[in-house]
Structure 1
Amino acid sequence: MNVLIIGGGGVVGQKLAGLLARTGSLRGQPIGHLTLADLNDPAPVADAPFPVTCTRCDIADPVSVATCVTEEVQVIYLLAAIVSAHAEEDFDAGMRINLMGSLNVLERARALGTKPVVVFTSSIAVYGGEVPDPILDHTYLNPQTSYGTQKAIGELLINDYSRKGFIDGRGFRLPTISVRPGKPNRAASSFMSSILREPLNGQEAICPVDEDFPHYYLSPRKCVENLMKGAEIPAEELGQNRCMMMPGRMWTIRQVIDAMTAVAGPEPAKLIRWEAQPEIQRIVKGWRFDLRPEKSLKLGLTADASFEDNIRYYLEDDKPVG
């Protein structure tokens, strides 16, 4: 089994690579080779029981895509994208990378004729506007940002390329992944990790929304477990819509801060500064929150039991030492 992670240098890509290395198999077969591809050289995977190649790939360039999507690859994780606020600020970059980049990968898979499994990471940003609550598996997509629109188009392509037999696709609308390690990025939801991560690391953080703001969360650990399970779902169980919500749970900002306090004590919460940021509020308040991921739950994907678990996972997996 040869596996390719496009976006293998990012947080989710690196954690997925680590899980695959620890597991050693995918879809009932031993992994023979793993390739991590990203715009810059991804970090290598330690102690993998199979060869790992780290390479550069610009998904906006079809020639670059052709160098890493080869006929030997049987499973492709298509994680690469620019994030929400960046795609909103720079429309052309979002279209070039999020839309045309995804199309380049799918077109390369079609040209090879090998029908690889393609696991596409979409986003809950595909929902919004005038759709009723709760959000169910068959609620129509109505994104209110360019990023959400680009992801929604990607989902339609995954479905159509699968229907035509070019790929065996499946797409998962990721909740906000928190607590993410590393530094803040340009995602509108980035503060949903930074208001926890920075205080847990003894640093000040800014919260740009009110404490009663609700959102839909999943830990990085559960996310990559679900992505691995998602690749293993038999095609016949996916139905006619290959794309679905990934399980998560809804909590308010106050609830996630209280969870941090329950696990790490009262001091981290004192480092949070409350400052309204209208440009962030405009994006995130257009997202919808009452999501019911019944299909993915039936297929074996899971959510975190509590946000306290999300905090514990960060402390166990990602908090810098020293």
Structure 2
Amino acid sequence: MNILIIGGGGFIGQKLARRLAARATLRGQEISGLTLADIAAPDAPEAPFDIATTACDITDRTAIDSLMAPGFDAIFLLAAVVSSHAEAEFEDGMKVNLHGALNVLEAARLQGRAPVLVFTSSLAVFGGEVPDPIRDWTIPNPQTSYGTQKAIGELLVNDYSRRGFVDGRTLRLPTISVRPGKPNRAASSFMSSIIREPLSRQEAVCPVDPDFEHYYLSPRLCVENLIRGAEIEAADLGQSRTMIMPGQRLSIRQMIEAMTAVAGPEPAKLIRFEDDPAIRDIVSGWRFDYDPAKALALGLEADDSFEDNVRHYLQDDRPA
């Protein structure tokens, strides 16, 4: 089993690589090789099989053809320009999220190997006036450029799978929290920083009110679900290769209460609420009531409580 992770330098890509190195199998087969590709060559974890790392710009079709020339049995397509960045820089979002994804699909089609392809989409494909809860079959109605680009990617993966060019499956990720590292340009970045920074005794700013609700999953469970998604048999996916990844519906207040239950009352005192109209305008169009019935039936999971998310961060990612 030869595997490619596009976006292998990102924090989920790196966690996925380490998890695959630890388990050494995918889809019941031993992993023979793993390639990590990103805009800059990623770090490689130790593994009982060969790992290659390379710099690759997925907006460059020639570079993608070269990257995929060896042939892969499974591809994780994680690379993306995130929400606020795609909204502020329209061309960047279109190049990476739309044309970059199409480049990968076309390279796979022309190779004729029909690899398993796991595409990470987003709940930003939903929005507007649709009834709650949102289900897998709810019609996408994105209210951002990022959501629109991801919705188009979903349709492409579905059609390339229908034609037998890839064995695709698309997972609509919840907001992943608690993310390690520094804030990025995602509009949801504060949904990690309000936990991560206080746990490191630093002040954090929350741009929405405490009753703001959203849909969350820990990085640990995200990685496990990506692997499980890759291992689902094509026949079990049905006519739609797209599903909502399980998560928890929580308010900011509930997240802070969970942090307090794990780490005591002091971290919460470092959170300052300060309205940010630009962030508010983006996240107010997002939805939070989801029914991930298909993914649950296929064995994907949500965290039991946000206390688990906090504990996972403390165990896996908080700087020493």
Partner of 1:87 in structure 2? 86
Pairs within 5 Å for 1:111-150: 111-150=110-149
Partner of 2:283 in structure 1? 284
The code of the aligned residue for 1:8 comes to G
Cα distance between partner residues in 1 of 2:151 and 2:41:
28
Partner of 1:218 in structure 2? 217
Cα distance between partner residues in 2 of 1:198 and 1:184:
10
Q: Give the Å deviation of 1:179.
A: 0.1
Q: TM-score, normalised by structure 1?
A: 0.99
> Could you list the per-position Cα deviations for residues 34-81 of structure 1 after superposition, in whole angstroms to 9, with x for gaps in the alignment?
000000111111x31111111011010001111211343110000000
Cα distance between partner residues in 2 of 1:137 and 1:10:
27
Cα distance between partner residues in 2 of 1:165 and 1:284:
36
**In structure 1, the residue corresponding to 2:243 is in which secondary structure?**
strand
Cα distance between partner residues in 2 of 1:99 and 1:72:
22
Partner of 2:240 in structure 1? 241
The code of the aligned residue for 2:179 comes to R
Cα distance between partner residues in 1 of 2:200 and 2:18:
23
Please, which runs of 5 or more residues in structure 2 have no aligned partner?
none
Q: Give the Å deviation of 1:102.
A: 0.2
Contact 1:71/1:112 (8 A) holds in 2: no
The code of the aligned residue for 2:7 comes to G
Q: Are 1:41 and 2:41 counterparts?
A: yes
> Could you list the per-position Cα deviations for residues 128-157 of structure 1 after superposition, in whole angstroms to 9, with x for gaps in the alignment?
001111101211000000000000000000
**In structure 1, the residue corresponding to 2:172 is in which secondary structure?**
strand
Cα distance between partner residues in 2 of 1:129 and 1:100:
25
- Runs of 4+ more than 2 Å apart: none
The code of the aligned residue for 1:75 comes to A
Cα distance between partner residues in 1 of 2:242 and 2:70:
24
The code of the aligned residue for 2:74 comes to V
Partner of 1:16 in structure 2? 16
Q: TM-score, normalised by structure 2?
A: 0.99
Cα distance between partner residues in 2 of 1:307 and 1:130:
29
**In structure 2, the residue corresponding to 1:40 is in which secondary structure?**
coil
What is the percentage of aligned positions where both structures have the same residue?
A: 67
The code of the aligned residue for 1:89 comes to A
**In structure 1, the residue corresponding to 2:135 is in which secondary structure?**
coil
**In structure 2, the residue corresponding to 1:221 is in which secondary structure?**
helix
The code of the aligned residue for 1:32 comes to S
The code of the aligned residue for 1:190 comes to S
Contact 2:71/2:111 (8 A) holds in 1: no
The code of the aligned residue for 1:255 comes to Q
Partner of 2:297 in structure 1? 298
Please, which runs of 5 or more residues in structure 1 have no aligned partner?
none
Q: Give the Å deviation of 1:236.
A: 0.3
Let me know the Cα RMSD of the aligned residues: 0.6
Cα distance between partner residues in 2 of 1:134 and 1:71:
43
Contact 2:136/2:242 (8 A) holds in 1: no
Partner of 2:319 in structure 1? 320
Contact 1:8/1:36 (8 A) holds in 2: yes
The code of the aligned residue for 2:67 comes to C
Contact 1:71/1:114 (8 A) holds in 2: no
Cα distance between partner residues in 2 of 1:111 and 1:293:
33
Contact 1:7/1:38 (8 A) holds in 2: yes
Cα distance between partner residues in 2 of 1:8 and 1:67:
17
The code of the aligned residue for 1:248 comes to G
Contact 2:57/2:63 (8 A) holds in 1: yes
The code of the aligned residue for 1:24 comes to A
Q: How many residues are paired up?
A: 320
Cα distance between partner residues in 1 of 2:248 and 2:21:
28
Cα distance between partner residues in 1 of 2:296 and 2:231:
14
Cα distance between partner residues in 1 of 2:226 and 2:159:
21
**In structure 2, the residue corresponding to 1:121 is in which secondary structure?**
strand
Cα distance between partner residues in 1 of 2:215 and 2:78:
20
